Amino acid sequence: MPTLKAWLIHSYGEPHVLNFGEAPEPVVGTRDVIVEIQAASINPIDIRVRKGELKRLVKYRFPLLMGTDLAGVVIAVGSEVSRFSIGDEVYARPNRLRIGSFAERIAVHEDEAAFKPKSISFEEAAAIPLVGLTSLQAMREIGKLIPRQKILIHAGAGGVGTFAVQLAKHLGAYVATTASKSKHELLYTLGADEVIDYKTQDFTQLLAAYDMVFDTLGGDTLLKSFSILREGGIVVSVAGPPDIELTHDWPMPLYLRLAIRAISWKVRHIASQFKCRYRFMLMRPSGVQLAEIATLIDAGVIRPVIDKIYSFESVKEAIAYAETGRASGKIIVSRRPEHRDQV
């Protein structure tokens, strides 16, 4: 059986479970494209998957190829594919059951891919899919952010934050964000109107009557965020507890539905005290939205922010750096020779 090189796990656990090895070549479905991966990016979801934090929501099979974002070149197409041809440069975020971008090749449904923005490199394109889709869906679909509204984006210098700040500004919002002092200049260049040093300042004492908070941190930061909202405002979180709406969107047994109600009780209670709303979100893949994002990038509205680029052989080191929480923007893994041993 033909094989490819990939980073994979055979069980959930700490960093040692991630290893470089061989896996079967992807099989092209009728509406799939096979992509020769040029670059991928590191995301917090990669670490959560490795640790097994999503095992009750997603039933993965082992060995499991890791990685969720990618940019590359189409090398094969399914018999019913109509949008792409061999040689097309694309970027994608595959659905949750077909991850595996820390590999040489991957099969992606054509509806989950889009043409790569023409103005940027494969490495820059690989930085976009998950954070771009997450930001767009959080702000436009769930938060329904409109011009002149006010939004607070926590951890603005992170992978999601650097994209979210730019998108919120493009949507016409007044944008406040939090970051350490050394990252304030970057965030102002990305369009932030106000940057709060979370180490020395308390955002709850500085902000009021906001329409939306986009939370990427969870914990106490999430719980404190409701106090700055106007009545009817919303906190959208990618790091907090799942909410009841998730049980409507995802098939799951009754015991898990009840467990989600229990673990989300505190945040829902606080939201009701402030007469606000809380939504937990899991991004959904969308080639249509990636095409829209590509247009914004090629128009110069949004630019990728990259902290470091690692070689394909250094995925474990790249994830270790991601786990330090010190990155400004995205951490990239490149298979292209010019980026080998760059770090």
> What torsion do the CA atoms of 171, 177, 183, 185 make, to the nearest 10 degrees?
60
Alpha helices in the chain (DSSP H): 44-51, 122-126, 129-136, 159-170, 184-189, 203-206, 219-225, 244-249, 254-263, 265-273, 287-298, 315-322
What separation in angstroms does the CA of 239 have from each of 27, 234, 244, 259, 279?
33, 15, 15, 17, 11
List, by residue range, all CATH 3.90.180.10 domains of the chain: 3-128+305-339
List, by residue range, all CATH 3.40.50.720 domains of the chain: 130-280
pLDDT of residue 258: 85
* Second-level CATH architecture of 130-280: 3-Layer(aba) Sandwich (3.40)
pLDDT of residue 343: 42
- A 10 A CB-CB count for 69 gives 32
pLDDT tens digits, one per residue of 39-97: 999 999 999 999 999 888 788 999 999 999 999 999 999 999 999 999 999 999 999 99
Topology, domain 3-128+305-339: Quinone Oxidoreductase; Chain A, domain 1 (3.90.180)
Amino acid at site 162: T
| Residue closest to 159 by CA, chosen among 28, 329, 291 | 329
| Residue closest to 267 by CA, chosen among 219, 228, 209, 210 | 219
pLDDT of residue 12: 97
pLDDT of residue 39: 98
pLDDT of residue 318: 97
For the chain, residues with pLDDT lower than 70 are 249-250, 340-343
| Residue closest to 154 by CA, chosen among 208, 212, 211 | 212
